[in-house]
Structure 1
Amino acid sequence: MSSPAPQLPDAAVTMEISPEAMAEWIALPPEERPRVIDCREADELAICQIEGNEWIPLGDFPTVREKLLARNERGVVVYCHHGVRSLRGAQWLRAIGVERAFSMRGGIEDWAVRVDPSVARY
């Protein structure tokens, strides 16, 4: 018997998720996992990324507002280098009506340390 799919935390309680929780979610089939947005810049994306992400730099969020409002029924997890920009991105998404928007705490740096050491650190 398989275990139930991991659930996003209560948005009223936290705005951040751990890299370990993110790893559980991205292991799910694409139709079951939250939307994952990498909000870093192009030069950072060229260094490393988490598989299955959608790349939308934080500075572009206002210009792609409608795109960001779509496909959020399973929630959204935003990540960056250290978790600062992604927290701003998750806050912005919540402000425009995406209730289940979260930031991956510690960014891809923590991901490389705690989940996948093969990811380049910079």
Structure 2
Amino acid sequence: MESLYVLIIVLAGIILYSVFTYFRQKKILKSLTEEEFKSGYRKAQLIDVREQKEYDGGHILGARNIPLSQLKMRLGEIRADKPVYIYCQNGMRSGRAAQLLHKKGVKDLYQLQGGFKKWTGKIKRK
């Protein structure tokens, strides 16, 4: 019975953390439809936070690949004074990337709603 209480407490902690993270991401990161994303990404820094293999398989024309796994080491490549448009495969990694960028002083953050899998615009393959 005691282990059940511990399990419930752990699950409640995980749920609370997830809810907190979700609302924090909503506050610092604006999700844009594909049309809104298309209209603004050429004037901004377009970052693909997927891994290199995913990027090579197809990416939005003009995007720079800075995988989430390397983002901490490559923060110097991103300017804090220009808007940053982020995308990943479905939107999960871009949220984590935005949290890291926001912590480092980048305030103008946008993500592609639904991620790359919802993108119907021009792409480039390697």
Q: Pick closer, same or farther for the CA change 1:54–1:13 going to 2, 3 Å.
A: closer
Give the letter aligned to residue 51 of structure 2: E
Q: Residue 68 of structure 2 contacts residue 93 of structure 2 at CA under 8 Å; is this kept in 1? A: yes
Q: Deviation per CA, 1:14-57: give whole Å up to 9, x if none.
A: 5322221111124x5xxxx0111000011111211000111100
State the partner residue of 2:107: 99
Shift of 1:12: 5.4
Higher alpha-carbon Rg:
2
Q: Pick closer, same or farther for the CA change 1:73–1:44 going to 2, 3 Å.
A: same
Shift of 1:103: 1.9
Q: Deviation per CA, 1:67-109: give whole Å up to 9, x if none.
A: 22x2x43310110100110111112111111011222221111
How many aligned positions are there?
99
Larger helix fraction of residues? 2
State the partner residue of 2:36: 21
Structure 1 counterpart of 2:52, from 42, 59, 69: 42
Write the distance in 2 (CA, Å) between the matches of 1:96 and 1:13: 12
Matched, 1:81 2:89: yes
Structure 2, unaligned runs of 5 or more? 1-25
TM-score normalised by the chain length of structure 1 = 0.70
TM-score normalised by the chain length of structure 2 = 0.68
Write the distance in 2 (CA, Å) between the matches of 1:111 and 1:76: 18
Give the letter aligned to residue 90 of structure 1: A
RMSD between superposed Cα atoms in Å = 2.3
Give the letter aligned to residue 38 of structure 2: A
Q: Residue 15 of structure 1 contacts residue 87 of structure 1 at CA under 8 Å; is this kept in 2? A: no
State the partner residue of 2:64: 54
Q: Which portions of structure 1, spanning 4 or more consecutive aligned residues, are displaced by more than 3 angstroms?
A: 11-14
